[in-house]
Structure 1
Amino acid sequence: MMPPEQDTTAAAPTTPTSHPHPDVLIHAVPSATDTFSILRHSLFPLTLKFEDVSYTIKTHSTKTSGCLWRNHSQPNTTRTILNGVSGVVRPGELLAMLGTSGSGKTTLLTALAARLPGKISGAVTFNDKPFSSSIKRKIGFVSQDDVLYPHLTVLETLTYAAMLRLPKELSQDDKVAQAEIIIAELGLTRCRNSIIGGGLLRGISGGERKRVSIGHEMIVNPSLLFLDEPTSGLDSTTAQRIVATLRGLARGGRTLVMTIHQPSSRLYRMFDKVLVLSDGCPIYSGDAGLVMGYFESIGYVPPFNLMNPADFLLDLANGIAPDSAREDQVDHFHGGLDTQDDQNSIKHSLIALFRKNIYPEIKAEILAKTKISTVDSRMDSPQGRENQWTTSWWEQFRILLKRGLRERRHESYSGLRIFQVMSVSFLSGLLWWHSDPSHIQDQVGLIFFFSIFWGFFPLFNAIFAFPMERPMLNKERSSGMYRLSSYYMARTAGDLPMELVLPTIFVTVTYWMGGLKPSLLPFLLTLLSVLLNVLVSQGLGLALGAILMEVKQATTLASVTMLVFLLAGGYYIQHIPPFISWLKYASFSHYCYRVLVGIQYNVNEVYPCGFGVQRYCKVGDFPAVKCLGIGNPWGDVAALVLMLVGYRVLAFLALKMGQPH
């Protein structure tokens, strides 16, 4: 664990700072306050406007009776999460969204960033234009949870992000330099070579991890940056340093929008604008320095000893008013109503006063057109929209493959995994030690063990691939970092080395110890058949993981599937009833088993089968071989190849359908 952070950053000044005029184009020029200007293009100012944003979801209600839940057939009801939220944020401004837990802050932030599933009502515009792919590349989004690869270092994390997200016109050295500048700007120099960590893996501190998340989005020099509770779980000093950094980014000409739960008075003074939500409805939206004067003008005067305006605002959002509130603002405020009714009345009063006093001003500000400069208009020109991706497919594949190999090197080359395979290979080799060729039943058992072990092992390893990387995949795909096909191919190709090396070692050890055909060609054919079986099994695991995207459910389904394949493989049951015999044709283990038996035996071969008498029998008449029908190995290989392609295509389609649009 890295030692605790020593915050040497001075607190941001609390005196009012002049904001750049919204109609003036701001260029990212090299300066001490904005060193992100290594990008060879201008910083396009984006004015965010949102008017009457509302969002509802459908819920299914159930009735209760006593202590028992009784499900009754009732129509779906709708729940309003956001209701008529409006506001304007201009370049150079930092907007903080305040509100109680469940008030809709994160939902609103996600909706403004165009990442909310479903439809929202109202209008959200960027420089008076709707959301588009060109605008998407100018937006950064930092989620509340730091979604980062735990085994990569800080430098590796930001360097790979720069390689994927920066324009192809920049050289590799320029992209690496951009990552270095962001590391220096965010105060991450001393931990640049430390791993991120997470869970039980010790790494950098929480504040440093949050700054890495911010740096991950700052790689593209965004014009508009959304942050969901960037100070959550941090101490006051670290939180102040984070917000001071964000304030500096805003002063560089960016538009910043963040949610925050309960800021201190020092943090509050860094905000330019605040938006206060109560049960999804706005009760204030505007200048942070005028908020106390507004509520005092409508009769809600804060106590004289109140030092933190945020506490006062959160009390109002909860429907708790100070004793000095005028009674005429809330009917029977000090009357005989219960506490819940009092709070609801205060909330309704504040919402109504917002619609009366503040909403008309916001409406007029929204209707005022934002002047678009000729440089800014290039974002929506045909040249600006001609290519959705900043890098080519092959470049994305190469970078993602390299990143994946570095991230999973601890997993792929795990000593425990190698020990598991090697111990099983030597144990099985000893159990079948130089088995007699006349003991066909024993050798057939070893062959079946090959097919079933290398069906189970790769399947259960592959199940975890996509569910474990789902948060990172959703985050990076929402930012438009790469194509899904390049990620899929890089992810599957990165697993091949150990997926193929381990079975190769296993077969090499067990084949010769087990006394199978001592010839090179049968050995090579056996090895190739097992490797094909491994790839098919891995494809099925990827498909199950991509379809369910939940490890426990996928593991359960895989266990049932492999149990069926095991029973229908043709070894345990030689005479399956006709009405259920079709199951064996769905089992890749069955096809692999038939191919392996066909490699070892020819139906016209003979073997000694007498007891005390020199007698020979045909291998084709042996029950375990006869019921398989090993005369058509190419048909079995074709079935395995078809499954190999089919499972992997199914995995890709399931992954694509599960991606947010």
Structure 2
Amino acid sequence: MQFEDVAYKINIKQVGGFLKKNDAESQEKLILKGITGIVLPSEMLVMLGPSGSGKTTLLTALGGRLGGHLAGNITYNNKPFSNAMKSNTGFVAQDDVLHPHLTVTETLVYTALLRLPKTLTKEQKSQHAEAVITQLGLSRCKDSIIGGGLLKGISGGERKRVSIAQEMMINPSLLFLDEPTSGLDSTTSQRIVFTLWELANGGRTIVMTIHQPSSRLYYMFHKVLLLSEGNPLYFGKGSNALDYFSSVGFVPSVAMNPADFLLDLANGISFDDSCEDEIAIKQTLVCSYKENLSESVKSEVGSDHNQVHDSIDHDKKLKRWSSTWCQQFDVLFRRGLKERRHESFSVLKIAQVLLVAILCGLLWWQSDTSRHLQDQLGFLFFYCGFWVTYPVFLGIFTFSQDRAMLRKERASGMYHLSSYFMAMTLGDLPMDLVLPTVFFIITYWMVGLNPTPGSFFSGLFVLLYSVLCSKGLGLAIGAVIVDIESASAFGTVLTLTFFLPSGFYVQNVPVFIRWIKYISINQYSYKLLLLSQYKPGETYTCGNNKTCLVEHFDIVKTVGLDGLATYVVAMTIMLVGYRLIAYFALMR
């Protein structure tokens, strides 16, 4: 892999109103400033530098995952980066994005099923996953869950090795790693780097960033790239770094870790007797690199152009997708069921639904139509309110939890977005519908609603249908509004807006705002629930023991007992429409 004069700049959003600057320089910031280098098979290139020096930005650019204003030339065996190459290049991010409830074996087997060629059988892919587990020393914890947060699982070092194992599944010839030793103790860090060193010696190309390695780690590095504020200060063999800086006048005053010395220089700290400040030291090092190293590095990159073997295009026939759409759907569906069931059927959620159901049953105990029509209407409206609001917020939080995983796996070219979306939609159906069904069964008989089978099953259908529509609305909000706090606030305002004009609280809605009820899920689900319980001509006992028609009751009269087909079609449009909005928002 060669990279020549790589530069990257970003636009900075200005704040401050009337006090903001208007000059062009304040709107752009140069992150990378013309970086050149080359890394060959069986070599490990390590990028060093202080925080904010551009290490992760450069690594992301080299891994083909950085958009925006990227300049320069990056080639792989003299070929530009392509989507087909993405699924055959390993990239391990700094944060370990893993499913917490899956075991190590399950995590890697699912990865193998998605990333290995479709010409292999499931058994062969599972065997390959087992081989990678053994290769990276994960046999001891292979049956343990990943864990995370408050869920106890494997250790931090083991989590990092699982992340590396996921990328090793495709046997990549080029592997990128961002801070693979971050947050780990020195012994675990050495084990991780030694594993990578062995992989490099096996013929792979390893490129990674490390913040502050120990001296034991430093001497494993084949090549070192030192960065400071986006400028290259050194590129070459790690063993030659101290000699180079000595030749330009920077010598450590005491025996020390070479990595610490390089990082001090990158921060503008020198241990000699000069009185230069940090800025002057950095400028001196940048100029020294341009005068002494820049041309030799560029000549090394240029001389290698004619010596590479076109192994990527011929030895490995790259394909955009390793598995078919149906295979992707099958794997994602089964993985989603196994992972989401722990959250959807948590003790807290089950207890919450059961408690509300029992409380409602006691409050509306045996509110039969003949004597307590008002109470029944209130209970049916509560049905709508609770089972519209609750699924909306479940949907809002769905993508916030999956976004990091989706971004990681889609960047690796593991599956189509459509296969993920369909697997998520269908996989969530059992978990979305079980708790409302239990709630309905408990409350229906405690409240004393219409006992006929037709009314029971039609009422259950309406409730579940409204749950699906509301979940779709929540998915759309969560996909369109990335910030979870903003999405929650918007969801709260929207559900309240739909709640109020639905026919129970306000019977005479002003004409200029009446249109809101026609886009309200509450309005449609309430109307259909009334139709499931009452029929035209049905009576109830009104004042002075008189018999009155149900359709003449104020609330029922406002909502009406007609238009069944129209309301079902309207909810069907919402069911499909909200999910289409969510899908296209995810594509963005």
Match of 2:570 among 623, 628, 639: 639
Give the CA deviation at 1:154. Answer: 0.9
The residue correspondences of 1:160-179 to structure 2 (distance < 5 A) are 160-179=110-129
Asked if residue 607 in structure 1 is aligned to residue 563 in structure 2, the reply is: no
What residue in structure 1 maps to residue 88 of structure 2?
Answer: 138
Deviation at 1:432, TM superposition (A): 2.0
Deviation string, structure 1 residues 214-271 (Cα, Å, up to 9, x no partner): 1111011011111111111111111111111000000111100111111111111000
- Aligned alpha-carbon RMSD (Å): 1.7
In 2: Cα distance, 1:56 partner to 1:629 partner:
61
Shift of 1:280: 0.6
1:410 aligns with 2:345: no
Counterpart of 1:396 in structure 2 is 328
Report whether the alignment pairs 1:623 with 2:558.
Answer: no
Question: Are residue 56 (structure 1) and residue 9 (structure 2) matched?
Answer: yes
Instruction: Indicate how the Cα distance of structure 1 residues 322 and 424 shifts in structure 2: closer, same or farther if over 3 A, else same.
Output: closer
8 Å CA contact 2:77, 2:310 repeated in 1: no
Q: Which residue of 2 aligns with 1:377?
A: 313
The answer (yes or no) to whether the contact 2:98–2:405 under 8 Å persists in 1 is yes
How many angstroms does 1:444 deviate by?
Answer: 1.2
Which runs of 5 or more residues in structure 2 are unaligned? none
Do the aligned partners of 2:341 and 2:431 also contact (CA within 8 Å) in 1? no
Q: CA deviation at 1:379?
A: 6.6
Corresponding residue number in structure 1 for 2:352: 420
- SS class of match (1:353): helix
Kindly state the Cα deviation for residue 568 of structure 1 after the two structures are TM-superposed: 1.4
Return the letter of the residue paired with 1:464.
F
Cα drift, residue 155 of structure 1: 0.9
- Residue number in structure 2 paired with 1:277: 227
SS at match of 1:123: strand
What one-letter code is carried by the residue in structure 2 that aligns with 1:419?
Answer: A
- SS of equivalent to 1:258: strand
Mean alpha-carbon deviation: is it higher for 245-254 or for 402-411?
402-411
User: 1:7-46 to 2 correspondence within 5 Å?
Assistant: none
* 1:328 match: none
Q: Indicate yes or no: 2:397 matched with 1:464.
A: yes
Q: How does 1:569-580 map to 2 (within 5 A)?
A: 569-580=502-513
Q: What corresponds to 1:497 in structure 2? A: 430
Is 1:585 matched with 2:518? Answer: yes
Could you state the TM-score of these two structures normalised by the residue count of structure 1?
Answer: 0.86
Of the three residues 276, 287, 290, the one matched with 1:355 is: 290
Shift of 1:211: 0.8
Task: Note if 1:306 corresponds to 2:284.
Answer: no
1:220 maps to 170
2:54 is aligned with what amino acid?
A: G
Q: 1:359 to 1:452 in 2, by over 3 A?
A: same
For residues 542-578 of structure 1, the C-alpha deviation after alignment (integer angstroms, 9 at most, x for no partner) is 1111111232222111111111111111100111111
Identity of counterpart residues, as a percentage? 53
TM-score normalised by the chain length of structure 2: 0.96
Match of 1:198 in 2: 148
Match of 1:19 in 2: none
Q: Structure 2: which amino acid aligns with 1:89? A: V
Matched-pair contact (CA < 8 Å) for 1:62–1:74: no
Which letter does structure 2 place at the counterpart of 1:388?
A: R
Which residue does 2:384 correspond to in 1? Answer: 451
Q: Cα gap change, 1:61/1:625 in structure 2, threshold over 3 Å: closer, same or farther?
A: closer
Q: Please, which moves more after superposition, 208-217 or 342-351? A: 342-351
Among residues 424, 430, 435, which one is paired with 2:367 in the alignment? 435
Q: Is the 8 A contact 1:127 1:370 kept in 2?
A: no
- 1:213 maps to a residue whose letter is S
Distance 1:505 1:456 in 2: 17
Instruction: Give the alignment of 1:85-234 within 5 angstroms.
Output: 85-234=35-184
Structure (1 or 2) with the greater helix fraction: 2
User: Contact between 1:159 and 1:176, CA under 8 Å: does it hold in 2?
Assistant: yes
Q: How many angstroms apart in 1 are the aligned matches of 2:298 and 2:341?
A: 55
Q: Which moved more, 1:122-131 or 1:362-371?
A: 362-371
* In the alignment, structure 1 residue 237 sits paired with structure 2 residue 187: yes
The CA distance in 2 between the partners of 1:582 and 1:575, in whole Å, is: 13
Runs of 4+ in structure 1 deviating by more than 6 angstroms, as ranges, are none
1:616 Cα offset (Å): 2.4
Mapped contact 1:134–1:379 kept (Cα < 8 A): no
Segments of structure 1 that go 5 or more residues without pairing to the other structure are 1-47, 64-68, 325-332
The correspondence for 1:319, drawn from 255, 268, 274, is 268
SS of the counterpart of 1:51?
Answer: strand
Give a deviation string over 1:420-446, Cα, whole Å, max 9, x none.
222222222222222232232121112
Indicate if the aligned counterparts of 2:34 and 2:231 stay in contact, CA closer than 8 A: yes
Contact kept, 8 Å, 1:319 with 1:343, in 2: the verdict is: yes
Cα deviation digits, residues 471-513 of structure 1 (max 9, x gap) = 1110111000111111111112221112112212222222222
Q: Secondary structure at the match of 1:122?
A: strand
Between stretches 558-567 and 306-315, larger displacement belongs to 306-315
For structure 1, which segment, 232-241 or 53-62, has the greater mean C-alpha deviation from structure 2 after superposition? 53-62
Matches within 5 A, 1:338-349: 342-349=277-284
Give the number of aligned pairs: 584
- Residue 7 of structure 1 aligns with which residue? none
State the SS of the aligned residue for 2:327: helix
**Distance 1:565-1:94 versus aligned 2 partners, 3 A rule:** same
Check whether the contact 1:106–1:259 (CA below 8 A) recurs between aligned residues: yes
Question: 1:70: how far off?
Answer: 7.2
Q: Is the 8 A contact 2:39 2:45 kept in 1?
A: yes
Is 1:268 the counterpart of 2:218? The answer is yes
Determine the C-alpha separation between the residues in 2 that align with 1:531 and 1:176: 38
Deviations 1:447-489 (A, max 9, x none): 1122111111211122111111111110111000111111111
Please state whether the residue corresponding to 1:463 is helix, strand or coil: helix
TM-fit CA distance, 1:308: 1.4
1:72 Cα deviation from its structure 2 partner: 3.2
Which 10-residue stretch deviates more, 477-486 or 343-352? 343-352
Aligned-partner residue type, residue 316 of structure 1: L
CA distance in 1, matches of 2:13, 2:451: 66
How far is 1:598 from its partner? Answer: 1.9
SS in 1 for 2:559: coil
Contact kept, 8 Å, 1:61 with 1:74, in 2: the verdict is no
Distance in 2 between residues matched to 1:354 and 1:379, nearest whole Å: 38
How far off its partner does 1:190 sit? Answer: 0.9
Q: Secondary structure at the match of 2:30?
A: strand
Q: Which residue identity does 2:113 align to in structure 1? A: M
Determine the C-alpha separation between the residues in 1 that align with 2:189 and 2:311.
Answer: 36
Q: Is the 8 A contact 1:137 1:222 kept in 2?
A: no
- 1:535 counterpart residue number: 468
CA distance in 1, matches of 2:550, 2:506: 19
CA distance in 1, matches of 2:515, 2:86: 50
Q: Tell me the alpha carbon deviations over residues 590-619 of structure 1, each in whole angstroms, 9 at most, x when there is no partner.
A: 01101111222233333332415xx32222
